[in-house]
Structure 1
Amino acid sequence: MTHHTRDGDQAKDLVQQHWNGRASMFDSESQHGIHSEEQHDRWLTVLRESVGTDPCQVLDVGCGTGVVSLLLGELGHDVVGVDFAPAMLDRARTKAHRGDHSIGFHRGDAETLAVPDDAVELVTARHLIWTLPNPHDALHEWKRVVEPGGRILLIEGYWDHSEPWDEYEEVHDDLPMYDGRPPAELAEVLRQRGFTDVTHESLVDATLWGREPRHDYYLMTGTVPRDGTH
């Protein structure tokens, strides 16, 4: 792991640069933002069915402009969002303030969270794991901060782009899960990291993405064992 340290830091800087640059237009893209009542309601349904109706403490990692954080807040959950890109967090805070949501958004590193052990009941992340230099370390962190019996919920995909773009041209070789992974492959990674009851379901409903999906999107959940081992 030591030999990744410098490359990992450089990769994170470029990834941050990329998402800072995209922050102002991020929500305007149909697959990223919420653009209709139908799309909004469909995402609420997906999250309600996956998370349940009992309010819980949620850490939304790589929250971006707060799309998932705000939806979970609307469902009555106690949500904190963290992201590495300050410009994304600025957008999230503006949206939360405009919608009168009391969600805290903080700068943080998904691979080294400044959060105590067993602090939350659920960790969520949308389209994040492919951007990380050390995704296995991140999964260990997410497992650490979730209480025994709690879960992680990942909204992921397999993009398989023909070529990397922008800052990713420089760093994609340093990102082990660049372009995402097929669901069966990521599910096995979660099991190897100690998660149980790993399940996934397809998210190819065009309503969710504002258009016919061009890639394989899915939702995956895993449970932290109650024996408390991290």
Structure 2
Amino acid sequence: MPKNHIQEILDTYWTARAYAYDQRELPADYEREVEKMWTEIFSRFLPTSPAKILDVGTGPGIIARFLAAVGYEVLGLDGAPGMIQRALSYETTAKFAVADVADLPAIYQDGSYDAVTCRYLLWTLRDAPAAIRKWTQALKPGGIILAADANWYAGGIPRDIKVDSAAGPDSFIETYNEELLATMPLSTANTPEEYAEVFRQAGLKDIKITPLPEVKELEIRYNRPDNHHIKPNFMISGRI
């Protein structure tokens, strides 16, 4: 399947999901704790603000907004126009643009960023090592790439998954079919080491896997066992 066609399929799916993905009704105290938690997680690895951050696969700008709120200069990119439309609806100093982060445009490969960040992106990339190699071109010498993720569908994606989407409840399994999954090795990864391996293939150094047990603990504390965040999260970090 041609890579441009793959990305078009993915961007169409996530644009249809954008409103529901961003507008879930959540308790205010839970949302405050989520912001505090993810800000603290990324801040552990990032240089002190105001460093310059490129947030790839930004979606509705969740991590971009969190980091901008504590003083970072953030540009969030996503290939799904619907997601960027949601990101732009918020009052934040973060900037946003539509771009294929699996094939980062040359305009962003300018060596001006201190860090590239992403959350829940690597699993759905069509060629993660190739994407990461282009991300490295956005970084200053010694820059860091941070990817928070999980082994979401170890052993395969259940075919009974339903989602809230303008494209219908079956749009996830219709999009992530066997043909598409064959182009995304991390979609059914079994271990964090498989994620670390793509960092190695991309030529990164000082690669670390850091468990993030606080993510699962927060979901359990708020009695959200059906939330996909209940999967053990981890951070993969590496430097150029």
- TM-score, length-normalised on structure 1? 0.84
In structure 1, runs of 5+ residues without a counterpart are 1-5, 225-230
Which amino acid is 2:158 matched to? Answer: S
For residue 39 of structure 1, report the CA deviation from its aligned partner.
2.1
**What runs of 5+ residues in structure 2 fail to find an aligned partner?**
160-171
Count of aligned residue pairs for this structure pair = 214
What residue identity is the alignment partner of 1:167?
T
Deviation at 1:166, TM superposition (A): 3.0
- Select which of 57, 76, 100 maps to 2:71: 76
- Superposition CA RMSD, Å: 2.4
Give distance in 1, aligned partners of 2:79 and 2:188: 19
- Which range is displaced more, 148-157 or 207-216? 207-216
How far is 1:194 from its partner?
A: 1.4
Work out whether residues 56 and 77 of structure 1, in 8 Å CA contact, stay in contact via their aligned partners in 2. yes
Classify 1:134/1:51 alpha carbon distance in 2 versus 1 (closer, same or farther; 3 Å): same
Give the Cα separation in 1 of the matches to 2:25 and 2:200: 32
Question: Does the aligned pair in 2 maintain the 1:27–1:34 contact within 8 Å?
Answer: no
Contact between 1:122 and 1:153, CA under 8 Å: does it hold in 2? yes
Aligned to 2:101: 110
Contact in 2 for aligned 1:157/1:181 (Cα 8 Å): no
Q: Secondary structure at the match of 1:106?
A: strand
Distance in 2 of aligned mates of 1:125 and 1:84: 13
Query: Which stretch of the first structure deviates more once superposed, 119-128 or 160-169?
Result: 160-169
The answer to which of 39-48 and 18-27 deviates more is 39-48
CA contact (8 A) 1:34 1:40 kept: no
Query: What one-letter code is carried by the residue in structure 1 that aligns with 2:176?
Result: Y
Q: Amino acid of the residue matched to residue 50 of structure 2?
A: P
Partner of 1:222: 238
Distance 1:8 1:204, change over 3 A: same
Taking the aligned partners of 1:143 and 1:16, their CA distance within structure 2 comes to 23
1:162 has 2:178 as partner: no
> Equivalents in 2 of 1:112, 1:168: separation in Å?
20
Structure 1 residue 34: deviation in Å? Answer: 9.1
Over 3 Å counting, the alpha-carbon distance change for 1:52 and 1:117 in structure 2 is closer
Change (3 A) 1:181 1:57: farther
2:185 aligned counterpart, secondary structure: coil
Identity in percent: 28
Partner residue in 2 for 1:8:
3
Instruction: Please name the residue that 2:46 is paired with.
Output: 51
How far residue 85 of structure 1 moved from its aligned partner, in angstroms, is: 0.4
